[in-house]
Amino acid sequence: MQEPPRALGLAGASNFRDLGGYRGHGGRPLRWRRIFRSDHLAALTPQDLAQLQALGVQRAVDFRGEAERAALAYQWPGVAQHPLAIEPTVVQRAQELLRTGRQLTAQDAVSLMQDTYRDFVGANAPRFAALFRLLLESDAPLVFHCTAGKDRTGFAAALILLALGVPREVVMQDYLLTNTYYRPPAGLAGPAPREVLQVLWGVQEDFLDAALHLVDAQYGGVLPYLEDVLGVDAAAREELAGRYLQAA
């Protein structure tokens, strides 16, 4: 049987993807058309909305900061919005470096991104814990997103897939698909060199690894982190598997 397309090819969101099909615990694949990840949803066309309504999407989890949400707001009929704000920090940190008179390099940008991902693990854990509570409340189709659908969204997707038993190398493959699908907005030139912007608008293994290596070092691995920090214990993981993995 042919699997559905992973990327939905929407006109107003380039990075809208399904987490279905990846094999988790016991080799059971994730159910298709239940959990989606995306870049921001404020530019969806009427045709896009009709497609998502046909898929039954009922919930949207928005990781954008308050100013991001205000600048690109959206309202869907019949879709409950759940703002779980994670304020962006990369631009502010880059500006701080520029104010010191430094010329930003691509390696500076990589370091900034790694620091951002490490912040996800600790400072922003309550937002990811809230996402899991929503997944456990209902299996009504849900999309979670930020602005580009690559960093806050990428870490969230990794946590969901790892909680469902998807191997880490497959999780990384899904994470890196942003480089295939995401289209940055036109005209995003700035004071930073082109090679710096290319780092900031893409994803690299080093980014996600920075977070996962911190999880391993500080908490003893993903499962203790899920349990002790995010409140996703063995019973919750079993419930998630029942909701989101196909039956054996």
Q: Which positions are annotated as active-site residues?
A: 146
Q: Are 45 and 200 in contact (CB under 8 A)?
A: no
CA pair distance 16, 34, nearest whole angstrom: 13
CA pair distance 159, 154, nearest whole angstrom: 9
List the beta bridge partners of residue 59.
Answer: 80, 142
Comparing CA positions, the residue from 88, 146, 136, 119 lying closest to residue 207 is 119
Q: Are 30 and 24 in contact (CB under 8 A)?
A: yes
CA pair distance 129, 236, nearest whole angstrom: 12
CA pair distance 27, 166, nearest whole angstrom: 9
List the beta bridge partners of residue 18.
Answer: 36
Q: Is 206 exposed, middle or buried (0-12, 13-18, 19+ CB in 10 A)?
A: middle
Cα angle vertex 15, ends 144, 36, to 5°?
35
Name the amino acid, one letter, at 208: L
Which DSSP letter does residue 240 get?
H
CA pair distance 170, 4, nearest whole angstrom: 18
